[in-house]
Amino acid sequence: MAQTLTLNDYSTASTQSGLFSRLREKVVGYRKYLAIQEELQLLSDRELADIGISRFNIPDIARDAARTA
């Protein structure tokens, strides 16, 4: 018995694929954010001051950098 696929079947598969790819992008982005934040946290206050970053701003800087990376 042959199964016929309708347009709805393709649409659902496409939507699920899109959902998983967006989820994967979010996970990858979050991992980048964590890695950048960890890297900056390892710097001393003096090193952060030399590059013009306050320890308070690290989460925001990591978030922005992860979005553009």
What tens digit of pLDDT does each residue of 52-67 get? 999 999 999 999 999 9
pLDDT at 58: 97
pLDDT at 4: 62
Q: 17: helix, coil or strand?
A: helix
Res. 38: pLDDT tops 70: yes
pLDDT at 44: 97
- Tracing tokens 């018995």 back to the chain, one arrives at 1
| 18 CB-near residues (< 8 Å, 6+ apart) | none
pLDDT at 50: 97
- Domain limits, the chain: 26-69
**25-39 mean pLDDT:** 96
CA–CA distance from 68 to each of 6, 10, 41, 53, 65 (Å)?
39, 32, 20, 18, 5
